[in-house]
Amino acid sequence: MITAAAEERDYLHESYGIKSWLLTKDHKRIGLLYLHTITFFFFLGGIFATLIRVELLTPRGDLVTSDTYNKLFTLHGVMMIFFFMIPSIPASLGNFFLPIMIGAKDLAFPRINLLSWYLLLIGGCLAIYAMLAGGVDTGWTFYTPYSTSYSNGYVIATGLGIFIAGFSSILTGLNFIVTVHRMRAPGMTWFRLPLFVWSNYATALIQVLGTPVIAITMVLLVCERVLHIGIFDPARGGDPVLFQHLFWFYSHPAVYIMVLPGMGVISELISTFSRKPVFGYKFVAFSSVAIAVLGFLVWGHHMFVSGQSVYAALVFSFLSYFVAIPSAIKVFNWTATLYKGSISYATPMLYAFGFIGLFTIGGLTGLFVASLGVDVHVHDTYFVIAHFHYIMVGGTMMAYLGGLHYWWPKMTGRMYPEGFAKLSALTIFLGFNLTFFPQFILGYLGMPRRYHNYPDEFQVLHVMSTAGASVLAVGYLMPLIYFMWSLRYGKIAGPNPWGATGLEWQTSSPPPAHNFDETPIVTHDAYDYAALEAAKVG
């Protein structure tokens, strides 16, 4: 804890006691509540991941039974996707920084913001109840009719948990959209917004437009399971493929809910640590919105072998390539931003480098799975697993950690130990690649997903992957330790340790309860280092 010497009362010391946190309407405190919650869910999901990897060391299922294994990968998916990845950056870092970055005192609806956190918590508790009561074994995709008629797991509790967490996500998105439209400080025009705000805005669009569809899908799933209403039941004329359409209508865009905020973080990091405006600002900004919109047109590429008509497959494959373009634009623009910059190797920047590299691999392998002929072979194999982990872990997780390191001094007022942080970034990068790169090969060789036992010839690659996972686990534990250490022993950070331009760096660290002593007036574009320098000199 920071000593009482702080002159001004910052948001951490504005009031005290557990009640002042649980009933807070301060977006910064709610951001921290989210941060703790999702960290818990991350490590919970991580434990499942570890068990999965240990089980897969040998071709025979000798550590846990098949049923347990199936529950492990289901819970890993459910925890990581619905309770960690989706809320991760927007609800924690976004919540904390989006209002500050646009010069607002708070989000438009602070009470709804707090409600969102409680909804996530309730949803998470339901999922944990399902886990403790006996688990759920449908896979995070809940495909019917397995989930409705055959599974013995706690599908209903998990489904309701996701339903409720979905409302948390919807309300966060709604709050962000209204805030960006109505709460910007004077002079903060759309094209002066930091790119982190743009990408969170685009994310919010997806949350608002997509999440209701997974909500109704979960309602139908639960109704089907409880009341046997037959909506997806072939025996009554229902169509299980309809479930897949409804599911992926949300769950494909959900991938962009997870990665877009990460892209926003990377734009901030690249700019700050090269001391230059992001190359092609408008292209990067609009590509976020383009990804959000185009992301809704491609869901059928998860269903190329599902019994969907070949013509629909054709349409979805074609559209899928359109969404590749804005992602490529971002990568090229970030790389170009480095050109003639003043590049610092601070820890957040290392994560940014890691993100660009891994996201590039993840994105390019996405072209493989979007290609109809190739997807038939690699669909539902480890190739797909490797692909989306390169996006989710190599992408979002890297960006999340990068962002956390970048804004940690602002949130807590303290610096973390730089050497330790660099070591952890390196460990995570190496561990990640060792874990997931072999899975591309495994997948192409034909190793199917969700297999408890596997043929002997795949063992070598699985062992490599498990070895990587243990490195990765160590890498993830390190920040947990040194971040806690820094709260007490870290160097005092000062308002702007990185020399960055954003509004969040113009206020004190940690920020005061209402973010700014007086409403800021914005006169420059985002990332305008030259103007900042000129002002300093003048």
Partner 1 sequence: MGSELPLFPVQASTVAASVDHLVYYLLAVAIFFSVGIFLSIFYFAVRYRRRSEFEVPANVHGGMTLEIAWTVIPFGLTMIMFVWGASTFFRMSRPPDDAPQVYVIGKQWMWKMQHMEGQREINELHLPLGQAVKLTMTSEDVIHDFFVPAFRTKADVLPGRYTTTWFQPTKPGKYHLFCSQYCGTNHSQMIGWIYVMEPQDYQAWLSGGTGGSLASSGEKLFQDLACANCHHLNDQGRCPNLRNLYGSQVSLTDGTHVLFDEGYIRESILNPSAKIVAGYQPIMPTFQGLVTEENVLQLIEYIKTLTPKPGPQPAGAGKSAQSKKLSKQ
Partner 2 sequence: MQEHADSIKTYTLVFVALLGLTAATTLVATIDLGPLNVVMALAIATVKMLLVALFFMHLRHSTILTKVVVGGGMLWLAILLVLSLSDFVTRGWLPVPGK
Partner 3 sequence: MDSHTETLALREQFETPAQQKEASTLGMWIFLVTEVMFFGGLFLAYTIYRKEFAGAFAVASNTLDVVIGAVNTAVLLCSSYTMVLAVRAAQMGSRRALIVFLILTMVFGGVFLGVKAYEWNQKFEEHHVPGPSFHLDKTTEQGPAQLFFSLYFTMTGLHALHMVVGMGIMLTLLLHAYAGRYTPEYYTPVDVGGLYWHFVDIIWIFLFPLLYLIGRHYH
Q: Which residues bind partner 3 (CB under 8 A)?
A: 104-110, 170, 174-175, 177-178, 181-183, 208-213, 215-217, 219-220, 223, 227-231, 235-239, 242, 245-246, 249, 514, 519
Task: Show contacts with partner 1 in window 143-202 (CB under 8 A).
Answer: 143, 145-146, 149-151
Please choose, out of 261-269, 429-437, 453-461, 486-494, the segment that lies near partner 1 by the rule CB under 8 A: 453-461
Chain residues in the site for partner 2 (CB under 8 A): 181, 209, 213, 241-242, 245, 249, 296-297, 299-300, 303, 307-312, 315-316
Taking the complex as a whole, how short is the minimal distance between the CB of residue 366 and partner 1, in angstroms? 10
| CA–CA dist 159, 136 (Å, integer) | 10
Among 23, 125, 219, 460, binds partner 1 (CB under 8 A): 460
Taking the complex as a whole, how short is the minimal distance between the CB of residue 210 and partner 2, in angstroms? 8
Which of partner 1, partner 3, partner 2, none binds 230 (CB below 5-8 Å, type-dependent)? partner 3
Taking the complex as a whole, how short is the minimal distance between the CB of residue 372 and partner 2, in angstroms? 13
CA-CA-CA-CA torsion sign (368, 373, 374, 376): positive
Taking the complex as a whole, how short is the minimal distance between the CB of residue 149 and partner 1, in angstroms? 8
Task: Show contacts with partner 1 in window 342-361 (CB under 8 A).
Answer: 342-345, 353, 356-357, 360-361
Closest to 120 measured CA to CA, from 155, 88, 164, 80:
164
Q: Does 279 bind partner 1 (CB under 8 A)?
A: yes
Which of partner 1, partner 3, partner 2, none binds 317 (CB below 5-8 Å, type-dependent)? partner 1
Taking the complex as a whole, how short is the minimal distance between the CB of residue 174 and partner 3, in angstroms? 5
Residue in the structure block whose two tokens are 């909500």: 215
Q: Which two tokens stand for residue 287?
A: 């590509």
Residue in the structure block whose two tokens are 């002042």: 20
Cis peptide leading into 59, omega within 30 of 0? no
Residue in the structure block whose two tokens are 């036992």: 453
Residue with Cβ nearer partner 1 (2 or 441): 441
Q: Give me the helices (H) in 102-149, please.
A: 110-133
Residue with Cβ nearer partner 3 (222 or 392): 222
Chain-centroid distance of CA 322 in Å reads: 22
Q: Which two tokens stand for residue 79?
A: 């925890």
Taking each helix axis from N to C terminus, what angle separates 240-274 and 398-412, rounded to the nearest 10 degrees? 50
Residue type (1 letter), 33: L
Closest to 397 measured CA to CA, from 73, 141, 133, 43:
43
Residue with Cβ nearer partner 2 (312 or 474): 312
- In this structure, are residues 499 and 87 in contact, taking their beta carbons and an 8 Å threshold? no
Query: Phi, psi at residue 186, to the nearest 5°?
Result: -55, 135
Q: Which two tokens stand for residue 363?
A: 């994105």
Please choose, out of 175-183, 195-203, 414-422, 437-445, the segment that lies near partner 1 by the rule CB under 8 A: 437-445
Q: Does 463 bind partner 1 (CB under 8 A)?
A: no
Which of partner 3, partner 1, partner 2, none binds 423 (CB below 5-8 Å, type-dependent)? none
Q: Which two tokens stand for residue 96?
A: 């904390």
Helix (H, G, I), strand (E, B) or coil at 512: strand
Q: Does 229 bind partner 1 (CB under 8 A)?
A: no
Residue in the structure block whose two tokens are 């037959």: 230
